[in-house]
Amino acid sequence: MEKSEGFKQTLKERGEIDVRGVKVRYGVEGTPDESLEAVAAVSRNVEDLFSQCGRLLGEGLHTAYLKARVASAKGSAKSSQAKLELAALLDDEKAVQTIEATAGKRFGEEMDNHKASIRHLPEARRDVYRKLRRQAAKPEPEELELPQIYEGTKEEQTFTRHLYVDEHGELHCKLNDWETSVVEAELATEEVIGWLRNVPRKTWAFKVPYTYDGEDHAMYPDFLFFRRQGDGVVVDILEPHSLSQDDSAAKARGLADFALRHGDNFGRIELIIKEKDKLLRLDMNQGDVRDKVRAVSDNQHLRQLFESVAQRGR
């Protein structure tokens, strides 16, 4: 790539800065005379560019590149030249995509090769690998690894069949009205053999990616329920949700996109609201519902879809 004309031009531009000159005449009206001149970048400018590269790459990769480039067999690259080269490379969108794809593939292969060993590491060390995986440009699926100890405050509400319970077989926690209604409705069925309250932003927490205002975010569905189905066990993802949140439609679309890609691994994937003491559900693992949710434009559109499905279910 360093021999391509496009790269040479970008490198040349990175090695220059634009200086704008303005001439102002005292007592003379009119538009000032302006001039633009490209001058060679000084070491301070190069260092600023190099620092920007570090922020883009993270983990000190810009320094690693510099050392490898200067110490390479070619040996022709000076430090300042290597820094400008890196800035020029990161200006090239295709080059960045290639780097991310190659690094992601290599990282995925190494994670798969050492998966068993990583599972036996202490919790703090496994957390390092989780964070590395989540630095990918696009979110990648990962196994849910639950902690040995489930931390929470002891509240008045008690529930049974949770994956983490006290010596009396109970979980003490605080749920809002909607959440309580969902949990009680699920526990009323004999199929349910266990459940997990998903705690947002915990390193082990189950999350689903979604896009809002052009940026990637993570949502944390409230509950995972485990129930018998035939000779096996299926996992249901349940998210009681208030449509008063600005990003509700975006979260719904994210949940529907997740179902499209990974729905085969789950039972129900539901977004749930409560209207007049009645739970209304959108199951993203139902193809017709999922397609409609993926097309919702805003929260009002989403509410209309809930009402439509509720009417159909009567």
Q: Quick one: pLDDT at residue 295?
A: 96
**For residues 10 and 161, which has the higher predicted lDDT (pLDDT)?**
161
Q: Quick one: pLDDT at residue 165?
A: 94
pLDDT mean over 19-44: 53
Angle between the N-to-C axes of helices 5-14 and 79-91, in degrees from 0 to 180, rounded to the nearest 10:
120
Per-residue confidence band for 138, with pLDDT thresholds at 50, 70 and 90: low
pLDDT mean over 163-191: 95
Q: Quick one: pLDDT at residue 17?
A: 42
The full 3-state SS of the chain, as one line of letters, equals CCCCHHHHHHHHHHCEEEEEEEECCCCCCCCCEEEEEEEECCHHHHHHHHHHHHHHHCCCHHHHHHHHHHCCCCCCCCHHHHHHHHHHHHHCHHHHHHHHHHHHHHHHHHHHHCHHHHHCCCHHHHHHHHHHHCCCCCCCCCCCCCCCCCCCCCCCEEEECECCCCCCCEEEECCCHHHHHHHHHHHCCCCEEEEEECCCCCCCCCCEEEEECCEEEEECCCEEEEEEECCEEEEEEEEECCCCCCCHHHHHHHHHHHHHHHHHHCCCEEEEEEECCEEEEEECCCHHHHHHHHCCCCHHHHHHHHHHHHHHHC
pLDDT mean over 18-29: 53
pLDDT mean over 176-184: 95
The span from the CA of 63 to the CA of 65, in Å, is 5
**For residues 99 and 216, which has the higher predicted lDDT (pLDDT)?**
216
Per-residue confidence band for 220, with pLDDT thresholds at 50, 70 and 90: very high
Number of Cβ within 10 Å of residue 28's Cβ equals 7
Mean pLDDT (the chain, rounded): 81
pLDDT mean over 96-115: 77
Q: Quick one: pLDDT at residue 77?
A: 56
pLDDT mean over 132-154: 74
**For residues 123 and 252, which has the higher predicted lDDT (pLDDT)?**
252
pLDDT in tens, 268-284: 999 999 988 899 999 99
What are the tokens at 144?
Answer: 């849910």
**Predicted TM-score (pTM) of this structure:** 0.63
pLDDT in tens, 47-69: 887 788 888 777 788 888 888 87
